[in-house]
Amino acid sequence: MDLPRVLSLQNILSLLFFLLPASALTTGIYMIFSTKPEMATQEIQPNETLTNLKAESDTLKTKLEDERAKLHDVELHQVAEKVDGLGQFIMKTRRTLKGHGNKVLCMDWCKDKRRIVSSSQDGKVIVWDAFTTNKEHAVTMPCTWVMACAYAPSGCAVACGGLDNKCSVYPLSLDKNENLAAKKKSVAMHTNYLSACSFTNSDMQILTSSGDGTCALWDVESGQLLQSFHGHAADVLCLDLAPSETGNTFVSGGCDKKANVWDMRSGQCIQSFETHESDINSVRYYPSGDAFASGSDDATCRLYDLRADREVAIYSKESIIFGASSVDFSLSGRLLFGGYNDYTINVWDVLKGTRVSILFGHENRVSTLRLSPDGTAFCSGSWDHTLRVRDRGYHLGYIPKRTTLSG
Amino acid sequence: MARDMSDIDILKMELEQLKKEVSTPREPVSKTSKDTMDWCEAASGTDLLITGVPDDKNPYKPEKGGCIIT
């Protein structure tokens, strides 16, 4: 190798060290400070192959960033300057669902817009009627920390799982006395905890993500693995399916700070985004399907545009220092709701990048939140053992300009 | 599974992925942002968390003194 080329490669590497979030440096730090015992004992050996691979990887990452930067000709909030502001923003808690004995970890709405399934650290999975707050079904799982639950599109079953490394489907019976646990069907098997699950367009297939670093698509009836998705370098914490009109893709986020977009049929990772500075706890598609938002332990939420292939907005404030655990959009995508570990929900104007409201009420971390299927309300679940359903405080016309705090 | 893979395997996996991604087709942010904004504005009229819902159509109101007929 001649000297000028070596020097220029070293220059690139030093530039990377300073300018980029230093993926190589971060990988090193991640390995040293990681809490996983087997990785904490490894050191970076001056192994030739490892160094070469890393150098090649860094060069490609620079090239990728350059290609993306070429098309970064404007900021989203600049394009949105002429859009009216959202004005006075008040939301009210309409229902508080009490009954869980421990932290609520996950929830999902039924397509009928009134039923909710929620799961908790105490191993219980409860189906609620959000209008009346009645509990319609309750199941006790054989494990604690039920981190994932989902309602089937038909409304006739729920799926859940967590520390048992499995995803199980429970058909919901109309007979309240029937023991739901008896009809349980084990569908997914991972080698580590189940972090998220979601039915696809039908009751027949389930998509799961796991602490073992993979996502997988399963056939519910047979329990067969239909497709697996490899690409994350650490635990996968969340996933979201693309709105059905936009085709067979889904996005996942993980402890490797990456958000990956996957083709469900081929199992290939189509796009990958690595701008967060910590674990990505939640991902959610924009309603049009052309973008997605993420919430992370780095206290920011970000918007990634899939056609521009880059991050286009960061939703953050210096005063927000706790991680975002869960995000969801309103129906039009104008509002982004973020549940945070400081017990609040911040409501962001997606286009302008500003915070529109802070919602108080929960007495511990907000762990999960989702918009209702018809967009009239959203439900949040918290480590304070409760779920809250909130909607817009009152019917108003489109009053522009002022923004205030509300509760 | 990622936990069982060695550092080299993980790097190789990332490298393969990067090679694919460098040649992904992309559009300029000015165009895609405008499309996002237009889509959003078109849908705003039906976004009930922006416009609010009149009381008689809101299933969560009133909490007392009424019955919900479904």
Structural domains in chain B plus CATH codes: 7-57 (4.10.260.10)
For residue A2, pLDDT over 80 is answered with no
Phi then psi for residue A397, to 5 deg, are: -80, -175
Q: pLDDT higher for A333 or A21? A: A333
B11 or A236: which carries more pLDDT confidence? A236
B28 vs A212, A308, A378: nearest CB: A308
As a whole number, the mean pLDDT across chain A is: 87
Q: Check B12 against A53: CB less than 8 A apart.
A: yes
Question: Is B58's CB within 8 Å of A391's CB?
Answer: yes
Cα–Cα distance measured from residue A329 to residue B21, given in angstroms and rounded to the nearest whole number: 27
Dihedral sign of CA atoms A150, A152, A153, A156 in order = negative
Greatest Cα pair distance in chain B = 66
Q: Cα–Cα distance between A329 and A333 in angstroms, integer?
A: 5
* pLDDT for residue B35: 95
Q: How far is B39 from chain A (nearest CA, A)?
A: 7
Asked if ipTM goes beyond 0.85, one says no
Query: How high is the pLDDT of residue A395?
Result: 56
DSSP H or E stretch at residue A9:
helix A3-19
Q: Is B62 on the interface with A (CB under 8 A)?
A: no
Tally of CB atoms within 10 A around A161:
34
Closest chain A residue to B45, measured at CA? A332
Confidence of residue A177 (pLDDT cuts 50, 70, 90): low
DSSP, residue by residue, A195-245: EEEEE-SSTTEEEEEETTSEEEEEETTT--EEEEEE--SS-EEEEEEPPGG
pLDDT for position A282: 98
* A341 token code pair: 């570990």
Task: Sort out which chain B residues have CB atoms less than 8 A from A310's CB and list them.
Answer: 26, 29
| Cis preceding linkage at A171, omega within 30 | no
Q: For residue range A71-101, what is the model confidence (pLDDT) as tens digits?
A: 898 999 999 998 888 877 889 999 999 999 9
pTM (global) more than 0.80: yes
Q: What is the mean pLDDT of residues A173-184?
A: 77
Kindly state whether A387 is in contact with chain B, defined as any CB-CB distance less than 8 angstroms: no
